[in-house]
Amino acid sequence: MLDVVDVGKRSLATYRGIAPDEILDELHRLSEDLRGARCMHLSATPYGGGVSEILRSLVPLYNDLGIVTDWKLIHGDDSFFQVTKRIHNGLQGAPGELSESEKATYLANAQLNAHQLVSDSEHYDFVFVHDPQPAVLATLSPRLDARWIWRCHIDTSHPNPAFWDFLSPYLHAYDAAIFTLQEFIPPRLPISDVRIYPPAIDPLSPKNHPLHVSLARDVLEWIGIRTHRPLITQVSRFDRWKDPLGVVRAYQRVRPHVPDLQLALAGSLALDDPEGWEVYEELRAATAGDSLIHILTNLVGVGNIEVNALQAFSDVVVQKSLREGFGLVVAETLWKSTPVVASRVGGIPIQMPEGTGGFLVDTVEECAEAMLHLLRRPDEARLLGARGHEHVRQHFLMPRMLRDHLRLLKHLAAVRPLPPRGIVPVSFNPASLQGV
């Protein structure tokens, strides 16, 4: 059996007054034809990184609409996740190639997962497969009569052909694919129905819920941040694409101008990310002995509330990625009206149009300049943060993402009609969507 992730219950009615009304109304209409349908989201890990963040909030909302939805995980040992990490990097353009034994490791693990998926013998009308780790399963699990959707969250605009030529023949079985940006669609993608739907954040999750200022201060003092001193933060997995060492260099350029400036680098170490430990150790070595630099991890208890407090309470939040799929951390920070300095890569610019949210940068020097600019001009920083909040409200909250998904499901169900369905679960209450 594949593991099912236990998610909570959420009601879309609680998003009234937070997310735009027209989106909530459209969700109500779209779900009418889909009630009672079965849907599965399949991913590699239940925590650490954007995909798990999204699914934890999204899956309960599907269920609230009467679309009976599970979130399942593929299994894999260390060697499998070593290979999938290399595939992830290769698809984002990193050099190198897969050896025959790495390909065999990947396919053998995928076969096992496909076998488990088929032997679970549950019927699903729709299966979303997230990211490259489980991507080959659509082809390897032919007996499931589902509509398959590949949701690729990473930047596959210039994949290394050695990796893409290996993976792409396994993508024929998909009915549709979703990317964050048009330019991420890889060359010769063998899927004809391609959608561009950026991800979103959940304004009601513990990470994004408003925190009382005294609680935020307490939480930060508890993890060693001195709240009377200025603070710059980056929240990211320890990953070279997130360039944490670049953040340290930018910070070191600003520090002579703001002597007691602190830097917090918060990162989680994920199950499917063996490289994270290496980057973490490099970072510790590069910052050893500097008491104003705080390296914080999930292993010492930095979780949602701590990340929430860091994003809400920092003077500036940085996201100095070299490559980025979307960068949920940017939307999370802007939702808290905190200004952001971020690299002009991937999905970050659509979150920060000119004059909104903060500054886009291309180099360590620009990053340092923009940080100093905002530290010295708190009024401008506040205004940019406030505009960022409204931009996120309009475009990047979870109900919008769910609406995009339902539009696709409705289309796929029109192309290939769903089998007759049983009774809609009793917990579903259509009135909840109308805020009644």
| Of the residues 46, 50, 132, 357, which one makes contact with ligand UDP according to CB under 6 A | 50
Map residue 18 onto helix, strand or coil: coil
User: Which of 170, 326, 335, 359 is the binder for ligand UDP (CB under 6 A)?
Assistant: 326
> How many CB atoms neighbour CB 121 within 10 A?
8
Binding range to ligand UDP, per CB under 6 A, among 3-11, 163-171, 229-237, 366-374: 229-237
Question: Contact between 132 and ligand UDP (CB under 6 A)?
Answer: no
- How far apart CA 28 and CA 127 sit, in angstroms, is 22
Interface pick for ligand UDP out of 131, 175, 202, 332 (rule CB under 6 A): 332
Residue 94 has φ and ψ, to the nearest 5°, of -65, 145
Q: Write out the H or E segment, with its range, that includes residue 64.
A: helix 50-64
Specify the amino acid at residue 140: L
Pick 160 or 321: Cβ nearer ligand UDP: 321
Does the footprint of ligand UDP cover residue 208 (CB under 6 A)? no
Give least dist CB 332 to ligand UDP, A.
5
The H or E element containing residue 414 is: helix 398-415
* Contacts to ligand UDP from residues 255-274, by CB under 6 A: 266-268
Q: Return the residues of window 281-300 that contact ligand UDP according to CB under 6 A.
A: 298
160 versus 311: smaller Cβ distance to ligand UDP = 311
3-state DSSP assignment of residue 70: strand
DSSP per-residue codes, 337-395? T--EEEES-TTHHHHS-TTSSEEEESSHHHHHHHHHHHHH-HHHHHHHHHHHHHHHHHH
In the complex with ligand UDP, the residue whose CB is nearer, 144 or 302, is: 302
* Residue indicated by tokens 């050695």: 162
Say whether residue 388 binds ligand UDP (CB under 6 A). Answer: no
Beta bridge partners of 296: 266
Does 49 bind ligand UDP (CB under 6 A)? Our answer is: yes
Looking at the Cβ atoms of 39 and 201, the one nearer to ligand UDP is 201
Q: Does 327 bind ligand UDP (CB under 6 A)?
A: yes
- Verify binding: residue 341, ligand UDP, rule CB under 6 A: no
Q: Report the residue number whose CB is nearest to ligand UDP.
A: 50
Task: Assess 89 for contact with ligand UDP (CB under 6 A).
Answer: no
In angstroms, the CA 21 to CA 387 distance is 19
* Sheet strands side by side (includes 358-361): 293-297, 262-267, 231-235, 316-319, 340-343, 358-361
Residue 307 touches ligand UDP, criterion: CB under 6 A:
yes
CB of 249 to ligand UDP, least distance (A): 20
Residues contributing to the site for ligand UDP (CB under 6 A): 49-50, 53, 207, 235-237, 266-268, 298, 302, 307, 325-329, 332
